[in-house]
């Protein structure tokens, strides 16, 4: 994991530390979570990537000749 140095106004950092403490976390953890979401590496991006992988591996479809069933056949 890489280290990152940023400049933040002292008052902003004080308020951020207070809010993080109220949430039972740290400013570092909050920034990490935000950057994951910003970069698209969060849970949503992972779920989407998994879904697309599954969709690509499924061999379901209407076949090379197109649809071979009728609507009525689907209800039988």
Distance (Å) of CA 28 to CA 13, 32, 71: 11, 6, 56
**Domain presence at residue 68:** no
Residue 72 inside a domain? The answer is no
CB 36 within 8 A of CB 47: no
pLDDT one-digit tens code per residue, 27-69 = 999 999 888 878 876 677 778 888 888 888 877 666 666 666 7
The total number of structural domains that make up the chain: 1
**Is 74 part of a structural domain of the chain?**
no
* Residue 22 in domain: yes
Q: Which residues make Cβ contacts (< 8 Å) with residue 30, sequence separation at least 6?
A: 16, 20, 23
Rg, C-alpha atoms of the chain? 24
Residue 23 in any domain: the answer is yes
Query: Would the pTM count as exceeding 0.85?
Result: no
List the domain range (segments joined by +) for residue 51: 8-56
């Amino acid at each position: 994991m890489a280290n990152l140095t940023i400049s933040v106004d002292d008052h902003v950092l004080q308020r951020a530390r207070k809010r993080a403490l109220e949430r039972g976390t740290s400013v570092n953890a909050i920034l990490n979570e935000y950057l994951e979401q910003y970069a698209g590496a969060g849970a949503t991006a992972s779920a989407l990537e998994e879904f697309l992988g599954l969709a690509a591996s499924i061999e379901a479809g209407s076949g090379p000749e197109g649809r071979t069933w009728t609507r009525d056949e689907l209800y039988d």
